[in-house]
A = this chain, B = another copy of it.
């Protein structure tokens, strides 16, 4: 272990800070200089860890956030708790992730062109997994497969859209209301 040089920032700290930049400024809006400033590592050191540069860093950061969603949202919605209980837990996780509407959605901001094919493919997969996950919960709550899919699309759209409204206007009310309704919206009939 004596050869193990102490890293100035851990891998997870580095990716957390990179993700925060990418989700707020977009792929094109983040430069290696800003990444260097945010992580405390010089550009050359970032290239040492991520030879593919900004694109590889963004892919790694997005990979981490997808893992987080897998554990805290997708898998959580498949536990054996009652459906409504599962959603209540997920709502709190989402509230935390989006900081009550103050932070943008990674899918939204990073799905603009510029991030490369791998990034686009990851976000596409993650979005579809999110829809499938919400739909699965709705089916567990008793909705038909068709109803569940539509409900899932509406729920994800309401979250994404209310975050857009929050970024454009500074008002997070719509987002917070969307989260508050999410349990009923995904589990009860006659919603939309």
Contact = CB atoms under 8 A, between A and B. Distances in A.
* Size category of the binding interface on chain A: 35 or more
Q: By CB atoms of chain B within 10 A, which of A156, A177, A192 has the most? A: A192
Interface of A: 24-26, 28-29, 104-105, 107-109, 111-114, 123-124, 127-128, 131, 150, 153-154, 156-162, 164-165, 167-170, 173-174, 177-178, 181, 185, 190-192
Contacts of A25: 28, 112-114
Q: Specify how many copies of this chain sit in the oligomer.
A: 2
Contacts of A164: 105, 107-108, 111, 157, 160-161, 164
Main secondary structure of the interface of A (DSSP, over half): helix
A87 B67 CA distance: 42
Contacts of A24: 113
Contacts of A107: 164, 168
Contacts of A158: 154, 157-158, 161
Nearest to A162: B157
